[in-house]
Structure 1
């Protein structure tokens, strides 16, 4: 009898966890769809440009997200400890990791821009940076206006 209850509890917990993940993935996909429309509109991409641009952009965006997510998760774990109690050696190590991550992100962006130069004119590449910033600002503003859901 206890085994049946334990199995039911495990199934319930797993279903809640997977439901939360599917909602998170759905939100991420909604944001990505809005971002695609926004950037396509702001850059006035032609069909040919869009066909070549989006696979490169999506690969770049995924890689950038992956690096930020993994590295920031590691940073948060290390910084979760009392910072006043952190040794100078640990602080130097963490600072070096943070600098390496920033450098890695810079190198990825640099390679991304180099790949775009064969596809888009320089003006559109500059407009891309502005469009990304505008989209992120707009998304943050919408979140602030709605507030966290309870």
Structure 2
């Protein structure tokens, strides 16, 4: 079973590498992630139907908060920033951090309504494993492309 997942991931990542469209690339990675998480958590059909809307809503909301935070940091002109403006920015950063924390708290509560606690704990490990595999695949591809003359 693990070999099947690894082959699937490798095959899909290979096709992702040739993709010209950035959205296609992200969609293929998301598809890989869904398959990987579903398999590793051993989600039943009922669990999956309830889990994925919660997971996707959290991911979308968290991404939006991260993008907002990033946009704030990009637009800061530190050289011309007054002390008062800096304090306002710090308060906005705190507010965004609190929103992320509240979002995570709600996410955990919602997950516990549809999954056993053990699967909720396992989810973090599975996500980390997926990221690590994707990063390793990226490094391997980058290494190969540097070697090719």
Distance 1:140 1:99 in 2: 30
TM-score (structure 2 length as normaliser): 0.73
Q: State how many pairs are aligned.
A: 126
Unmatched tracts of structure 1, length 5 or more:
1-21
TM-score (structure 1 length as normaliser): 0.72
Residue 31 in 1 paired to residue 29 in 2?
Answer: yes
Name which one, 1 or 2, has greater alpha-carbon Rg: 1
Q: How far does residue 31 in structure 1 lie from its aligned partner after superposition?
A: 1.3
> In structure 2, what is the equivalent of residue 73 of structure 1?
71
> In structure 1, what is the equivalent of residue 112 of structure 2?
117
Q: Are the counterparts in 2 of residues 116 and 125 from structure 1 also a CA contact under 8 Å?
A: yes
Q: How far does residue 75 in structure 1 lie from its aligned partner after superposition?
A: 1.8
Report the more deviating stretch, 84-93 or 114-123: 84-93
Unmatched tracts of structure 2, length 5 or more:
1-19
Q: CA RMSD in A?
A: 2.4
Distance 1:141 1:104 in 2: 32
